Amino acid sequence: MNAMAGTRDAFEARLRRIGAERYHDRHPFHVMLHSGGCSLDQVRAWVVNRFYYQSRIPMKDAAFLSRVEDPALRRAWRSRIEDHDGTETREGGIARWLKLAAAVGLDPDYVASARGVMPATRFAVDAYVRFVRDAPLVPAVAASLTELFAPKIHAERIAGLLEHYDFATPETLAYFRHRLDEAPKDVAFGLGFVLDRAVSPAEQDAAAAALVFKTDVLWAQLDALHAAYVAPGRIPPGAWQPGEGMAS
């Protein structure tokens, strides 16, 4: 909690510090994944669960759109949905993610069904969708600012996966490459929106808390993955088991 509002630069620095301290690139599961330390089944568990997050992002963005009265703001935001869902002529991020699923030997229909997703993943991701549906607009946008920190993790992921795993090719990793192009445009808009509108101490605190919340959403997903599939390796009832949902 700040007693005084920060200047625009100080507030941006405050937001960036949240990423430096809490973004999930610091989580041991990501370190394992990028350094080749994950077994193929651990990569599959990540693909199955992370798909659930991907699949909810356009629903989250639609929930945001549904609350915006300003057509210009809706127009600026709408491309996010197209980026994930695709258009008549352009494949979207979800289809690209399912190519990664196929590349690691999973049946894309199984992954798309979201059967096998851990409850802990659903709870965290659903909390994010609900937050964006219910919170005031500025915190709702601030929660998306983890995109400030995403290009670094995507670049590391492309390089790390290409180096360590046979399934990784420019085609199977196309999701991440596209996000490298899409995220900077989205985040420039979102960051400007938040810096312009969160000017009082309470508004800045609420925006910072929203960004902390979002880092919690991402971190909790990796904590659950790590506990279920790395150590202690206790898979929750009903969640994906190695061997399930494989391409025939």
Q: Which is nearer to its own copies, 123 or 247 (CB)?
A: 123
* Contact window for its own copies (CB under 8 A) among 146-154, 168-176, 187-195, 233-241: 233-241
Among 226, 229, 240, 245, binds its own copies (CB under 8 A): 226
- The least distance separating its own copies from the CB of residue 143, rounded to whole angstroms, comes to 13
Q: What is the 3-state secondary structure (H, E, C) of the chain?
A: CCCCCCCHHHHHHHHHHHHHHHCHHHCHHHHHHHCCCCCHHHHHHHHHHHHHHHHHHHHHHHHHHCCCCCHHHHHHHHHHHHHHHCCCCCCCHHHHHHHHHHHCCECHHHHHHCCCCCHHHHHHHHHHHHHHHHCCHHHHHHHHHHHHCHHHHHHHHHHHHHHHCCCCCCCCCHHHHHHHHHHHHHHHHHHHHHHHHCCCHHHHHHHHHHHHHHHHHHHHHHHHHHHHHCCCCCCCCCCCCCCCCECC
Considering the rule CB under 8 A, would residue 127 count as an interface residue with its own copies? yes
| Minimum CB–partner distance for residue 8 and its own copies (Å) | 26
241 binds its own copies (CB under 8 A): no
CB of residue 123 to its own copies, shortest distance in Å: 4
Nearer to its own copies, 103 or 140 (CB): 140
Nearer to its own copies, 82 or 205 (CB): 205
Nearer to its own copies, 95 or 220 (CB): 220
Q: Pick the piece of the chain touching its own copies (CB under 8 A) from 76-84, 108-116, 135-143, 215-223.
A: 215-223
Q: Is 227 one of the binding residues for its own copies (CB under 8 A)?
A: yes
Q: How far is the CB of 61 from its own copies (least distance, A)?
A: 20
